[in-house]
Amino acid sequence: MTDDSLVDRLALIETQPLAERAQAYQALHDELARELERAPETGE
């Protein structure tokens, strides 16, 4: 996910009613967590 697509997605989420917004943020959280889990570990 690029920075621009994340910003666009967040802007879209913010236009939704509260209940739908909460679900959308949860889905975004889950997607970002999966991306982090797949990312290679750095040796730092």
Question: By mean pLDDT, which of 3-7, 10-14, 23-27, 38-42 is the weakest?
Answer: 38-42
Residue 1 in tokens: 């996910």
- Predicted confidence at residue 35, as pLDDT, reads 92
The Cβ of residue 28 has, within 10 Å, a number of other Cβ atoms equal to 15
pLDDT at residue 1 greater than cutoff 90: no
End-to-end CA distance of the chain: 24
pLDDT at residue 42 greater than cutoff 80: no
Is residue 44 very low, low, confident or very high in pLDDT (cuts 50, 70, 90)? low
- Predicted confidence at residue 43, as pLDDT, reads 64
Q: What residue spans define the domains of the chain?
A: 3-37
Give the predicted TM-score (pTM) of the model: 0.80
